[in-house]
Amino acid sequence: MKPDHSRPAAAIFDMDGVLVDSNPFHLQKWADMLNLHNIAFNEPDLPKLILGQRNDTALRYFFGNDLDKKECRRLEEELEETFRRAFKSHAKPLPGLEALILACRDAGIPMAVASSAMLKNVDFVVDALGFRDYFQYVVSGDEVTCPKPDPEIYLKAAQNLGQKSEECVAFEDSFVGIESAKRAGLKCVAIGSSFPVEELRAQSHADMAVHGFGELDVETLRGLFLQV
């Protein structure tokens, strides 16, 4: 077996916990909001309840399914304004990420972002990193009907890039994100930024789990697609 040098046809990146180590800030904003509204929660359970989820899914989990769309959006705007203000001075790429992105660019591999975050947040992070020119498309949680773990966002990203999803690779840090990518047919590399690598290997269907981007290069990605 040898790597397929025609693949990956595209590389698609989640944002929070993949482009940036933003999840501690997201966890804090949620804890602050839930405490403000006197909503009880178990802190160790919070990462799996919110990381990778679209805000409306998490908000309805905590505030109830009868939360109307207008109030849901108001709470989301409040949450994310708090996040952007707190995270602005901390926005920097995960170690090894830019080197991999540059290697993909030099290899002619088109790239996109597929994030459950609202578009304001995705634009904020991509521009803060100076990565806008690297990505042909950005797909946010605002642009899909069904949030992760539904495959819609990855199918949309692959389609926007003009590629078959099964010929693309995704980079994810959360269980719902990994499930979304795999249900869409992509190869998926799990990044151990938000959950332990051992947990990602044992409890997800990721094709590979690594501690960080420093363990990856284009040849490693090609090795996910093996030819006889």
Peptide bond into 8 cis (omega under 30): yes
- What's the pLDDT at 9? 97
- What's the pLDDT at 110? 98
Task: List the chain pLDDT tens, one digit each, 228 residues.
Answer: 777 788 999 999 999 999 999 888 888 989 999 999 999 999 899 988 888 888 888 899 999 988 888 998 898 888 888 888 888 888 999 999 999 999 999 999 999 999 999 899 999 999 999 999 999 999 999 999 999 999 999 999 999 999 999 999 999 999 999 999 999 999 999 999 999 999 999 999 999 999 999 999 999 999 999 864
Tokens of 197: 């690598």
Q: How many CB atoms lie within 10 A of CB 4?
A: 15
Domain ranges (residues) in the chain: 2-21+91-227, 23-89
- What's the pLDDT at 227? 67
Third-level CATH fold of 2-21+91-227: Rossmann fold (3.40.50)
What is the C-alpha separation between 105 and 95, in angstroms, rounded?
18
- What pTM was estimated for this model as a whole? 0.87
CB 178 within 8 A of CB 64: no
Write the DSSP assignment of 132-183 as a string of letters: GGG-SEEE-GGG-SS-TTSTHHHHHHHHHTT--GGGEEEEE-SHHHHHHHHH
Amino acid letter, 54: R
- Class for the domain spanning 23-89: mainly alpha
Q: φ, ψ for residue 209 (rounded to 5)? A: -130, 130
- What's the pLDDT at 5? 81
Is-same-fold flag (2-21+91-227; 23-89)? no
